[in-house]
Structure 1
Amino acid sequence: MFINKDLQARLNNFDKLATRLMAKHSIALLRISVGIVFFWFGVLKFFPSLSPAEDLAARTIETLTFGLMKENISLPILALWECAIGVGLITGKFMRGTLLLLFAQMSGTIMPLFFFPNETFTHFPYAATLEGQYIIKNMVLISAGLVMWATVRGGQLVAEPNQKRQSMTVKAILQSQTMPQVKL
């Protein structure tokens, strides 16, 4: 396919600009959008019968606490927990603590797959019910949390990686890393 060189140069410049903008702003957009999801779902849990996951969440917490924490206690705590994660992500404050809360909460959300497989799968392990799909999609939230964690010490996306490094093999990259010297 023939493309005019001027058009090709313009498209290339547009692509570079778009890539730089995405690298500069996408982590913040990811953080804020995941924060909105957590805050929204947390607020729903403050109001009985508004959250589609409320019953499953309450029974999971009751199972995890060996029956010590009933729904009237667990749902407000979970709601507050999710709202705290949401506020932390939206504001970008206390990110390490916020992400630790996120990972702890996410580890609890996958438990119904094991505790209640008859409710989370129509055909275990490949055909999830709507509740099961709701839980499985949390892998995206976990992955988003990992990406955000990679930036808490100033890590960032790079729009134009070093060309030399880009062409190196994984083995060469690992060998080029400087390892701290330990004196005994």
Structure 2
Amino acid sequence: MSTTTIGSGRTSTASGLDSVLDRANSAQAVVQRFLGRAGQPTLRVSLGLVFVVFGALKFIPGASPVEGLVSSTWNSLSFGIIGGYTALAVTATLEVLVGLTFITGVFLRIGLLALAATFVGIFSPLVFFTGELFTTAGPTLTAQYILKDVVLVAAAMVVGAVALKRPIGRR
């Protein structure tokens, strides 16, 4: 057995260090199991809350900072058929529906499909309104608001991967 002199002048044996490392590894395993069990459901519910809150704001005129953007995007996507409050109401309904499926876990696959459609709408302004969203100084605040949704896409991918493990059918 080897010994090492430590700062206090005491000697430490390799087996003592191994014991500390074993306890640290055991503690790490406990934390990893907890994160493995709780992480994905927490991510799913928190993603759902984000969609419920941001969707609900769109039902209230003047409450959402992206009202004009939502209306303009729907106007572009629908070739001028949908705009104004109708665009906000449709977007709000879709986002709240997605959020509720994520929070409850009920009809989650349908929520994931609706979320995919929502992301098309969320990122469309980057294509339709590039000149308005990016200036010589960089992305505008609205562009930054859109670009941060890349994190939501990543979170949705994790939720989707877990949700789609189960076969489709009755429980």
TM-score category of the 2 structures, normalised to the smaller one: 0.7 to 0.9
Q: Partner residue of 1:151?
A: 162
Deviation at 1:5, TM superposition (A): 3.4
Over 3 Å off, 4+ runs: 2-6
> How many percent identity over aligned positions?
36
Q: Comparing 10-19 with 34-43, which one deviates more in the overlay?
A: 10-19
Aligned partner of 1:34 in structure 2 is 47
Structure 2: how far apart are the matches of 1:123 and 1:150? 39
Superposed counterparts of 1:1-184, under 5 Å: 4-123=17-136, 127-154=138-165
Per-residue CA deviation, residues 134-179 of structure 1 (Å, 9 max, x unaligned), is 1111111112112111112437xxxxxxxxxxxxxxxxxxxxxxxx
TM-score relative to the length of structure 2: 0.83
Equivalents in 2 of 1:7, 1:55: separation in Å? 59
Deviation at 1:118, TM superposition (A): 2.5
CA–CA distance in structure 2, aligned partners of residues 57 and 10 of structure 1: 54
Of structures 1 and 2, the larger Rg is shown by 2
CA distance in 2: counterparts of 1:153 and 1:146, whole angstroms? 10
- Aligned-residue offset at 1:123: 3.2
Question: Does structure 2 retain, via aligned residues, the 8 Å contact 1:85–1:99?
Answer: yes
Q: Measure, in 1, the Cα distance between the counterparts of 2:98 and 2:44.
A: 11
Unpaired stretches in structure 1, ≥5 consecutive residues: 156-184
- Bigger relative CO (Cα 8 Å, ≥ 6 apart): 1
* Partner AA of 1:146 in structure 2: M
Counterpart AA for 2:57: L
Q: Unaligned regions of 5+ residues in structure 2, if any?
A: 1-5, 7-15, 167-171
Higher helix fraction (1 or 2): 2
Amino acid across the alignment from 1:48: P
Q: CA RMSD of the aligned region, Å?
A: 1.8
